[in-house]
Amino acid sequence: AAVDLGPYRHFMQKEIHEQPRALADTLEGALNSQLNLGDLWGTQAEAIFKDVNSVLFLASGTSHYATLVGRQWLESIAGIPAQAELGHEYRYRDSIPNPRQLIVTLSQSGETLDTFEALKRAKELGHAYTLSICNVAESAIPRASALRFLTRAGPEIGVASTKAFTTQLVALYLLAISLAKAQGKLDADAQATHLEALRQLPGSVQHALNLEPQIQGWAARFAGKEHALFLGRGLHYPIALEGALKLKEISYIHAEAYPAGELKHGPLALVDSNMPVVVIAPNDRLLEKVAANMQEVHARGGELYVFADADSHFSASAGIHVMRLPRHTGLLSPVVHVIPVQLLAYHAALVKGTDVDRPRNLAKAVTVE
């Protein structure tokens, strides 16, 4: 079916702006049912979730980055060990199957061959607990899974994934609280608190989208650069990865992401006034550590572009640009902090005049190896 661009210049821009709606739609079932596990994940969910003793996420590209956040939520919220791996790596290595491990595949399209083959391999190894989070109902990966959850981002046309990513994140958050619930680790109060935080999320994302005019100003400065570095820690390291990936994919600026603590073990050698350094620096328990890493960059003449929360005390000065997001949103903060890095990549690409929705050499769904 034809999808209309409406007032937007590109599908990517439209899809970025659809995120509050896409998130609300994806959350609707969970919020209305008060987290009914069978309705959300499938009839066998309750029984499987009770027995699960670890989780392995398998995905590719942007979907893989979502799992790098998800595995941390699994451990923080549900207290269940979780790992994340790229499908094409898992598929060809020796691994030790654990029949009580839940295999979770994430895929916007549901057709990515690397992810599908990894799922098939897991099943061959004897894994029966399989769950897929997908944006396309009638696709290969959910069809081959015992449990499934459909994100309701709506059709995503831009090759660079945006709304699919944030809806995958909330699906992963729902998975973490669902597993906690099934295993008796979530009391009624805690469930209500998590659901309320999710209910507030589309509003916080809208607030972040309102920063677009300011981000356009930053993007104009980026468009002339050849390299960029993205830093984050903990839950926000995957957001740094996603920011670097978006910038590479659509603006063709070489970008790399590092967990900020790793700066001193190599990338600091690259820092000079020609390389912008983007820092995802929300008010979480790692803020002081991130601030110290920023100081290391600043002392070497690096130019910093910092995404902070509204209530943080960073101030701009020579060589330090600061943009304030909404009030800190706790564990859900990565969902809010990815918005400005999506917009930054989009506007840098606009300045460069690239084919934003169809970047060279890339495909929306990669169904070959």
Instruction: Please report, as ranges, the residues that interact with ligand G6P according to CB under 6 A.
Output: 60-63, 107-109, 112, 115, 159-161, 362, 364-366
C-beta nearest to ligand G6P: residue: 61
* Shortest distance, position 267 Cβ to ligand G6P, whole Å: 24
Catalytic residue among 123, 289, 352, 364: 364
| Gyration radius (Cα) of the chain, Å | 20
- 169: which 2 tokens? 């994140």
Give which of 305, 246, 241 is closest to 12, Cα–Cα: 246
Residue placing its CB nearer to ligand G6P in the complex, 159 or 344: 159
CA distance 332 to 201: 8
CA 310 to chain centre: 21
Q: Cα–Cα–Cα angle for 170, 173, 177, nearest 5°?
A: 140
Residue placing its CB nearer to ligand G6P in the complex, 119 or 228: 119
* 3-state secondary structure string across 10-29: CHHHHHHHCHHHHHHHHHHH
CA distance 303 to 271: 9
Residue placing its CB nearer to ligand G6P in the complex, 298 or 364: 364
- 238: which 2 tokens? 């995957």
* Shortest distance, position 248 Cβ to ligand G6P, whole Å: 11
| 364 flagged as catalytic | yes
Residue placing its CB nearer to ligand G6P in the complex, 60 or 293: 60
* Shortest distance, position 275 Cβ to ligand G6P, whole Å: 25
Residue 53: count of CB within 10 angstroms of its CB: 12
* Shortest distance, position 4 Cβ to ligand G6P, whole Å: 22
Supply the residues annotated as catalytic.
Answer: 364
